[in-house]
Structure 1
């Protein structure tokens, strides 16, 4: 018997023509609609078997959270039906219906009672819930003073204090720190071995590949793909970052032929980010780029430790002597992981010639990407050297490229140092 069965489910919300539309529908003797229907989900059908782990992915607005609300029963479908067999525990939007004015302990009692547990059972489970959440004395403080991470710790501890038949999680675990996430997945894996079904939404694509037997990709409110997690995740990455292209090797087997345009096509390339901040005095501009890893251009994901080439074309709009080319890698929240320029990284003297107006040159930085998994923003720049050390920026394209690094080894932090363990008795 399937744990979850979703059959031709659709969800629409009423968009009224004006602020009186709802009232007119209620009181008017003439049955006339004063609204349009906005469909956020259409014709969704799938099943989840007992003990199966299924991940749901898609961009923001694809309908993931709405689908989970329909499955848990907190919202009703406009069309179709949802059937769940067994006791359900759900974590939607960082909590379990906790009230901010009650203490953590009071919220635990209320949430456990809603799950059907008796007061005696809750008293027995409370020490384990406190120990797993690891929030210390805050358990007796009002929930409104909790950070989002503390709320997640408490909510997950309550939801899994007793093994549910079905656990549904909406992105909540991504808020907790990596050590707590690891502890959560240890408990989840133990419950899975005991027959628990897990359905969860996440943007952590590595978790989908690592933990799921099946994945569902939602797009514009419909199912775009259901299948083996790695295939579904790769399709999603292609949609976000653009499809990877194979790179040809030249006669020199160690050298890749990266063909870039002499026209300004930078903003049309896969991996380009519209959020870029571009500035500079002018005189030269960066007009095209490529990211190459494992013989693929614009890869949708890059494995930790891979050698990566960041290649870009620069068009000179006036004669420039002694240009300096640079690159910077940052986390999505602005932590600089690495930065260098042609003065530091090149053993060639790129400054001896004067680059003429109208000339295009191709620059490249190659480095092993020893970063831990996550999304990273790439900035490129070209400056004019100054003897006093205050180089004049000509074109800076900050946060203009995004790459995704994947690492199937579980480790914490931003860098991957590839530690090797040894022991002796």
Structure 2
């Protein structure tokens, strides 16, 4: 395997034998292959992909799609039925809550046990122990049996051990969802630090924004098969289309995804190189060439969004705007089904796909009651565009709180550019500066 690769998977498969009755296992043993008393269930089937050193790859897919089975085979805790896996470097894995911990051992004893499994000597673990304890933040509970820990304490200690040993490959399977927001931020900061050191990361999550923010590429799995390897934005949008699509349309979607190229060159990279218009006196305008190429429309399940536009103070449609000014985002459409209650939402995304801001109508906990089928709707969302110069994307949707029905949703429905207004002394996505910074030397 090339030294540039951390993981290479070739035609990997895992098959389980499912017996309908307990005594069928005994019959199968005596049959010696002359007759089959089981049915085959392929949890993973003929997966092939490569992960480069220092690359962070997200894995998404519905429950039962084979994500965890894949990770267990990469970690060698599960033997494949067919295919090959080659890894290059020390692997640390956080596969499930409490995995690798002996519940009768104390936290301290489990730290040393796990570190030894990962290949660290006692002296190396001694050097890292204070950092592990500080990261986990479980205090004196480190001397108590792990069986007395809460789920939050368990995942804190488990992540601390795996992440603080500086692995070449780190595998995380949805375990971070257990921690509170403060701890999750701490974990993601550590993941970014490991990325900067060249650690390859495999990250399973149902959170689209987390995958988009953290990962360089993403894999979409469905029914044990690899459907797509592409940019995180493209994979997350395809995944969301799949989970929101009616069951009758899901097979067609999978066929559509299967026809796409395995390696997708994200067009977002091209847009990120766009030159920002610089002018001493910015003027709002409409650029017909400023059209998103990643527009994704979800199935219409009772509503149809027709337009999502930016209007200036005079009601003109614009997509080249001046920072720090007020605009309204106008969403129009029609209801094609009967709902008890609905609500509307709008959001801005960056070129990388991160959600910058959003707004819903009515406010949280309130709804438009008993809207009439066939009626057209228009919602005006007001925003102060305190954004830095660059390109952004607008999407929106109509939802019903009953069973979480998405009546219609469009991702990247339109695109706009914020012009430069001169010298900048701040950075990020949003300009929150109230006054110039003050400086003095004593």
Instruction: Report the TM-score, using the length of structure 2 for normalisation.
Output: 0.65
Paired with 1:32 and 1:168, the residues of 2 have a C-alpha distance of 40
Which secondary structure state, in structure 2, belongs to the residue aligned with residue 305 of structure 1?
Answer: strand
**Does residue 5 of the first structure (1) align with residue 8 of the second (2)?**
yes
2:212 paired residue number: 209
Paired with 2:183 and 2:22, the residues of 1 have a C-alpha distance of 46
- Is the 2:212–2:354 contact (alpha carbons within 8 Å) kept by the matching residues of 1? no
Query: 1:218–1:193: structure 2 CA closer, same or farther, 3 Å change rule?
Result: same
Which secondary structure state, in structure 1, belongs to the residue aligned with residue 27 of structure 2?
Answer: helix
**1:419: Cα distance to partner?**
5.9
- Aligned pair partner of 1:339 in 363, 366, 381: 366
Which secondary structure state, in structure 1, belongs to the residue aligned with residue 63 of structure 2?
Answer: coil
**1:124: Cα distance to partner?**
2.4
**1:420: Cα distance to partner?**
4.9
1:293 paired residue number: 346
User: What is the aligned length?
Assistant: 329
State how 1:128-277 maps to structure 2 within 5 Å: 128-242=131-245, 244=297, 247-248=306-307, 256-261=331-336, 263-264=337-338
> What is the root-mean-square deviation in Å for CA atoms of aligned residues?
3.8
2:111 paired residue number: 108
Query: 1:419–1:30: structure 2 CA closer, same or farther, 3 Å change rule?
Result: closer
- Is the 2:343–2:399 contact (alpha carbons within 8 Å) kept by the matching residues of 1? no
2:357 paired residue number: 305
Paired with 1:369 and 1:253, the residues of 2 have a C-alpha distance of 15
**Does residue 424 of the first structure (1) align with residue 424 of the second (2)?**
no
Paired with 1:213 and 1:154, the residues of 2 have a C-alpha distance of 27
Query: 1:29–1:221: structure 2 CA closer, same or farther, 3 Å change rule?
Result: closer
Paired with 1:201 and 1:339, the residues of 2 have a C-alpha distance of 34
**1:367: Cα distance to partner?**
5.3
**Does residue 88 of the first structure (1) align with residue 86 of the second (2)?**
no
Paired with 2:230 and 2:76, the residues of 1 have a C-alpha distance of 25
Query: 1:98–1:304: structure 2 CA closer, same or farther, 3 Å change rule?
Result: same
**1:11: Cα distance to partner?**
1.1
Paired with 2:403 and 2:26, the residues of 1 have a C-alpha distance of 51
- Is the 1:328–1:339 contact (alpha carbons within 8 Å) kept by the matching residues of 2? yes
**1:53: Cα distance to partner?**
0.8
**1:33: Cα distance to partner?**
2.0
Query: 1:153–1:292: structure 2 CA closer, same or farther, 3 Å change rule?
Result: closer
- Is the 1:10–1:41 contact (alpha carbons within 8 Å) kept by the matching residues of 2? yes
Structure with larger Rg: 1
**1:219: Cα distance to partner?**
1.4
Which secondary structure state, in structure 2, belongs to the residue aligned with residue 168 of structure 1?
Answer: strand
Identify unmatched segments of 5+ residues in structure 1: 267-284, 296-300, 311-326, 330-337, 343-354, 371-375, 381-396, 407-416
- Is the 1:55–1:215 contact (alpha carbons within 8 Å) kept by the matching residues of 2? yes
Paired with 2:109 and 2:408, the residues of 1 have a C-alpha distance of 44
